[in-house]
Amino acid sequence: PSRDALIARLPKAELHLHIEGSLEPEMLFALAQRNGVAIPFASAEAVRAAYDFSNLQDFLDIYYQGMAVLQTEQDFYDLTWAYLERAAADTVRHVEIFFDPQGHTERGIAFETVLDGIERALQAGEERLGISYRLIICFLRHLSEEDAFATLAQAMPHLARIHGVGLDSSELGHPPAKFAQVFARAREMGLHVTAHAGEEGPPEYVHEALDLLQVERIDHGNRALEDPALVARLVGEGMTLTVCPLSNLRLCVIDRIESSPVQRMLDLGLKVTINADDPAYFGGYVNDNFRAVADALDLSPDAIVRLAENSFTGSFLPMADQIAHL
């Protein structure tokens, strides 16, 4: 109970959150009706029942389908605002959220419609909830690097509003090397860089994210633990890992929550953080993730505080703003 109280009141930053993955079944259903989009479900309960995944691709198939209900600027505002209210309830003080422009532009939704709606909600969240933010566009790695370049070009007129680039979607068969050029270009443009690596993919993909993409964070990174030299390198560089325990469980990256690598990573000296990934699909927001691992691994109060501290020092905030949160 005191552990729950600590988690409930601890200030934290969320660094690995796909805004489209915060689309709750109730909102999915409501937006389908509002926009006249046909979905193959009779109710929000039926939608939730379909969220049973045996790997990343299983989930992605449903996640991209769900995006179809997001059509207008107001839809993206409503989606983002609902997430921010949940985040505020979890005492989240800073968010660095991902969105997948290609998941929308390929359906004929303008890049600006998506960006305007998400950003308007983030600004309202800063004013009304006191949550600061950064915004990260993710390239879909199952698409080509040429496609990623086209997305980066769409972001170009909005560089004051976009802070970083990431890499997500189907990992196996789509190594970071495939995106070395577009990440180099993004870095030249002054954008922060991060990439999903080592979720399902091998340690080699984590090496590539570091060497070829020159990322500032690794999203997930679970499979780095298979490579002791890689672990030593991540520790030495103070590299932040954005781990997502309930996501790992629901996507069968781990077989049970007790197998979460969070305590092992802390023991190894890795800079691990706790995040929700796609909370509407994986059964919990950030505090649910903290509670699940804290209970399963019997995390100490010091460990819990360290995880929250890492979330600020691993953020893209300038040092002075990181310190202000600690």
Residue closer to Zn ion, measured from CB, 117 or 166: 166
One residue of 178, 196, 217, 250 binding ligand ADE per CB under 6 A: 196
Residue closer to ligand ADE, measured from CB, 90 or 168: 168
User: Minimum distance from CB of 300 to Zn ion (Å)?
Assistant: 27
96: annotated active-site residue: no
User: Minimum distance from CB of 56 to ligand ADE (Å)?
Assistant: 6
309 counts as binding Zn ion under rule CB under 5 A: no
Count other C-beta atoms under 10 Å from residue 124's C-beta: 15
d(CA 281, CA 265): 25
278 counts as binding ligand ADE under rule CB under 6 A: yes
User: Minimum distance from CB of 169 to Zn ion (Å)?
Assistant: 9
Of ligand ADE, Zn ion, none, which one does residue 56 interact with (CB within 5 to 8 Å by kind)?
ligand ADE
Of residues 73, 199, 200, 309, which has the active-site annotation?
199
User: Minimum distance from CB of 100 to ligand ADE (Å)?
Assistant: 7
One residue of 53, 277, 290, 309 binding ligand ADE per CB under 6 A: 277
One residue of 113, 169, 222, 260 binding ligand ADE per CB under 6 A: 169
134 counts as binding ligand ADE under rule CB under 6 A: no
Q: Which residue is nearest to Zn ion (CB)?
A: 277
Q: SS3 sequence, the chain?
A: CHHHHHHHHCCEEEEEEEHHHHCCHHHHHHHHHHHCCCCCCCCHHHHHHCCCCCCHHHHHHHHHHHHHHCCCHHHHHHHHHHHHHHHHHCCEEEEEEEECHHHHHCCCCCHHHHHHHHHHHHHHHHHHHCCEEEEEEEEECCCCHHHHHHHHHHHHHHCCCCCEEEEECCCCCCCHHHHHHHHHHHHHCCCEEEEEECCCCCHHHHHHHHHCCCCCEEEECHHHHHCHHHHHHHHHCCCEEEECHHHHHHCCCCCCHHHCCHHHHHHHCCEEEECCECHHHHCCCHHHHHHHHHHHHCCCHHHHHHHHHHHHHCCCCCHHHHHHHC
100 counts as binding Zn ion under rule CB under 5 A: no
Answer yes or no: is 16 a known binding residue. yes
Residue in 285, 277, 288, 317 with CA at minimum distance from that of residue 19: 277
Residues 199-258 that bind ligand ADE (CB under 6 A): 199, 247
User: Minimum distance from CB of 38 to Zn ion (Å)?
Assistant: 28
Q: Is the dihedral of CA 152, 81, 288, 91 positive or negative?
A: positive
Residue closer to ligand ADE, measured from CB, 169 or 260: 169
Answer yes or no: is 196 a known binding residue. yes
277 counts as binding Zn ion under rule CB under 5 A: yes
Residue closer to ligand ADE, measured from CB, 71 or 247: 247
Q: What is the largest CA-CA distance in the chain?
A: 53
56 counts as binding ligand ADE under rule CB under 6 A: yes
User: Minimum distance from CB of 323 to ligand ADE (Å)?
Assistant: 30
167 counts as binding ligand ADE under rule CB under 6 A: no
d(CA 87, CA 130): 11
Residues 15-54 that bind ligand ADE (CB under 6 A): 18, 21
**Which residues bind to Zn ion, rule: CB under 5 A?**
277
Site for ligand ADE, rule CB under 6 A: 18, 21, 56, 63, 168-169, 196, 199, 247, 277-278
Q: Please enumerate, by residue number, every residue annotated as part of a binding site.
A: 16, 18, 196, 277-278
Which residues are catalytic, by number?
199
